[in-house]
């Protein structure tokens, strides 16, 4: 276990035990139990205000938990002050010293703590982020992405056993962001330290992290490997925050040894028991839009295929790699379908009569109690509004042109 002023050779475990954080009149964190194994890249993903920064501040020692403990490398640091913890934080605003060179910025903390060979160590950290050739520049002579890498070098140079990253890529444009995600990940792999990365960008979390925790209103809803979270979301929130989902609610109408069948507006939809959290009563089941096939004629179904329809295509959006269809199926609601653009032109046009089908193994069943929730996910409503607005704009434009 490294002291705050030492250089950690490897990452440390982080344990949050029974953490609650109340601000006057507001509970930011309801209850948090979390273990992040040493050397892992962990992403905390959630919408604005769900408590991500508060969690990082608790780990860094900038806030005290109302209840609970913070353990780093098995040691209780709850009562330690920020500088006594083997932790460094990279915030969204890089906060580099403008009057210092890049090298001086990186060496500054080492110098202040009287650590040997600050300049050599700063060069080493700059080589890690591939910026050593710009060591003599001032921050304002760098691009946003380069400044971000200096901020990272400045944190890495301390070899914290635990590195906290709070939306560090927020200010970068999309392309640079994607590039930095890959670089950050490879830096983490090469230094072997523990990274706790906070973001509200689901693609960023999935690209970078070994483990993603989805946070909602001060609680972790689900945690796991990105593929597992994506393929088997357990709650409606996760199903819609991490990508998009089509959700259907209905009573379980039949059960076999390994599957349940759910009555969705009079149609039996089959979900494997191993992929469904609830097997009786009223349940919510789902399937991802890219798992759906779109048909212009009623598809033949068998025991391994589910189908719904007919419905009407109410929107077609071309997004480059894929085309997104919104299909209104009477009694069921809106279903989103993504199809890869393998040929020219859409499979179906707006107004067309269509069916959707999917493999039974692609469905999932949520653990949410549907009776405690609205019949349709709020996302479908926002999507309807978006389509409406788009259609209104389009007819306005057409009216102007005419």
Residue 192 contact partner, candidates Mg ion, ligand ATP, none, CB within 5 to 8 A by sort of partner: none
Looking at the Cβ atoms of 214 and 354, the one nearer to Mg ion is 214
Question: Quick one: which of 277, 207, 203, 290 has its CA closest to 242?
Answer: 203
Residue 181 contact partner, candidates ligand ATP, Mg ion, none, CB within 5 to 8 A by sort of partner: none
Looking at the Cβ atoms of 53 and 105, the one nearer to Mg ion is 53
> How many angstroms separate the CA atoms of 94 and 343, rounded?
45
Residue 51 contact partner, candidates ligand ATP, Mg ion, none, CB within 5 to 8 A by sort of partner: ligand ATP
How many Å from the N-terminal Cα to the C-terminal Cα in the chain? 73
Looking at the Cβ atoms of 46 and 118, the one nearer to ligand ATP is 46
The binder of ligand ATP chosen from 9, 18, 23, 174 (CB under 6 A): 23
**Interface with Mg ion includes 53 (CB under 5 A)?**
yes
Cis peptide before 310 (omega within 30 of 0): yes
The binder of ligand ATP chosen from 32, 38, 45, 54 (CB under 6 A): 54
**Interface with Mg ion includes 306 (CB under 5 A)?**
no
Number of residues in contact with Mg ion, rule: CB under 5 A?
1
The binder of ligand ATP chosen from 121, 123, 200, 291 (CB under 6 A): 200
- Which range, of 22-30, 48-56, 126-134, 208-216, touches Mg ion by CB under 5 A? 48-56
Looking at the Cβ atoms of 23 and 318, the one nearer to ligand ATP is 23
Sorted by sequence, the CB contacts under 8 Å of residue 159 that are 6+ apart come out as 2, 6, 7, 8, 9, 191, 193
Give the SS3 label for residue 145: helix
Number of residues in contact with ligand ATP, rule: CB under 6 A?
12
Question: Quick one: which of 245, 295, 248 has its CA closest to 269?
Answer: 248
CA of 202: how far to CAs of 46, 124, 184, 207, 227, in Å? 8, 32, 16, 9, 12
Sorted by sequence, the CB contacts under 8 Å of residue 58 that are 6+ apart come out as 16, 19, 21, 29, 64, 65, 70
Question: Quick one: which of 60, 77, 61 has its CA closest to 69?
Answer: 77
**Interface with ligand ATP includes 168 (CB under 6 A)?**
no
Give the SS3 label for residue 310: strand
**Interface with ligand ATP includes 149 (CB under 6 A)?**
no
**Interface with ligand ATP includes 49 (CB under 6 A)?**
yes
What is the smallest separation between the CB atom of 211 and ligand ATP, expressed in angstroms? 18
**Interface with ligand ATP includes 190 (CB under 6 A)?**
no
**Interface with ligand ATP includes 304 (CB under 6 A)?**
no
**Interface with ligand ATP includes 28 (CB under 6 A)?**
yes
> How many angstroms separate the CA atoms of 10 and 137, rounded?
31
**Interface with ligand ATP includes 197 (CB under 6 A)?**
no
**Interface with ligand ATP includes 344 (CB under 6 A)?**
no
The binder of ligand ATP chosen from 12, 38, 42, 53 (CB under 6 A): 53
Number of other CB atoms surrounding residue 175 within 10 Å? 9
Looking at the Cβ atoms of 49 and 251, the one nearer to ligand ATP is 49
> Read out DSSP for 180-241?
HHHHHHHHHHHH--EEEEEES-HHHHHHH-SEEEEEETTEEEEEE-HHHHHHS--SHHHHHH
Number of other CB atoms surrounding residue 333 within 10 Å? 20
Give the SS3 label for residue 393: helix
**Interface with ligand ATP includes 51 (CB under 6 A)?**
yes
**Interface with ligand ATP includes 19 (CB under 6 A)?**
no
What is the smallest separation between the CB atom of 11 and Mg ion, expressed in angstroms? 23
Q: Is residue 294 within 8 Å of residue 354, measured between CB atoms? A: yes
Residue 83 contact partner, candidates ligand ATP, Mg ion, none, CB within 5 to 8 A by sort of partner: none
Number of residues in the chain = 402
**Interface with Mg ion includes 89 (CB under 5 A)?**
no
Question: Quick one: which of 201, 241, 207 has its CA closest to 222?
Answer: 241
What is the smallest separation between the CB atom of 266 and ligand ATP, expressed in angstroms? 42
What is the smallest separation between the CB atom of 52 and ligand ATP, expressed in angstroms? 3
**Interface with ligand ATP includes 244 (CB under 6 A)?**
no
Contact residues for Mg ion, defined by CB under 5 A:
53
Residues at the site binding ligand ATP, with contacts judged by CB under 6 A: 23, 26, 28, 46, 48-54, 200
């Amino acid at each position: 276990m490294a002291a705050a002023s030492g250089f950690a050779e490897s990452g440390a475990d982080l344990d949050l035990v029974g953490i609650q954080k109340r601000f006057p009149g507001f509970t930011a964190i309801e209850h948090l139990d979390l273990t992040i194994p040493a050397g892992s890249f962990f992403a905390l993903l959630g919408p604005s205000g769900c408590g991500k920064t508060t969690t990082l501040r608790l780990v860094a020692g900038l806030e005290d938990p109302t209840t609970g403990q913070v353990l780093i490398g098995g040691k209780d640091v709850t009562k330690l002050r920020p500088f006594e913890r083997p932790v460094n934080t990279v915030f969204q605003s890089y906060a580099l010293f403008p009057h210092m060179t890049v090298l001086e910025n990186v060496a500054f903390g080492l110098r202040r703590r009287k650590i040997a060979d600050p300049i050599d160590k700063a060069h080493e950290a700059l080589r890690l982020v591939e910026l050593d050739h710009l060591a003599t520049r001032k921050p304002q002579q760098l691009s946003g992405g380069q400044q971000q890498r200096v901020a990272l070098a400045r944190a890495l140079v301390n070899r914290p056993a635990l590195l906290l990253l709070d939306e560090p890529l927020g200010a970068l444009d999309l392309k640079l962001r994607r590039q930095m995600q890959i670089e950050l990940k490879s830096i983490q792999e090469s230094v072997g330290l523990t990274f706790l990365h906070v973001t509200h960008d689901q693609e960023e979390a999935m690209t970078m992290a070994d483990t993603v925790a989805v946070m909602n209103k001060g609680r972790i809803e689900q945690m796991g490997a990105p593929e597992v979270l994506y393929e088997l979301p357990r709650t409606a929130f996760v199903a819609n925050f991490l990508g998009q989902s089509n959700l259907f609610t209905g009573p379980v109408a039949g059960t076999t040894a390994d599957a349940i069948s759910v009555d969705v507006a009079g149609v039996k939809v089959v979900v494997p028991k191993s992929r469904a959290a609830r097997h009786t009563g009223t349940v919510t089941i789902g399937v991802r839009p890219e798992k759906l096939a779109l048909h212009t004629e009623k598809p033949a179904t068998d025991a391994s295929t589910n189908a719904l329809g007919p419905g009407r295509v109410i929107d077609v959006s071309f997004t480059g790699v894929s085309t997104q269809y919104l299909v209104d199926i009477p009694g069921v609601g809106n279903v989103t379908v993504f199809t890869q653009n393998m040929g020219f032109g859409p499979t179906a046009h707006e107004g067309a009569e269509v069916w959707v089908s999917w493999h039974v193994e692609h469905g999932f069943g949520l653990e949410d109690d549907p009776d405690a929730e609205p019949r349709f996910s709020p996302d479908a409503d926002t999507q309807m509004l978006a389509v409406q607005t788009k259609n209104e704009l389009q007819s306005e434009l057409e009216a102007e042109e005419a």
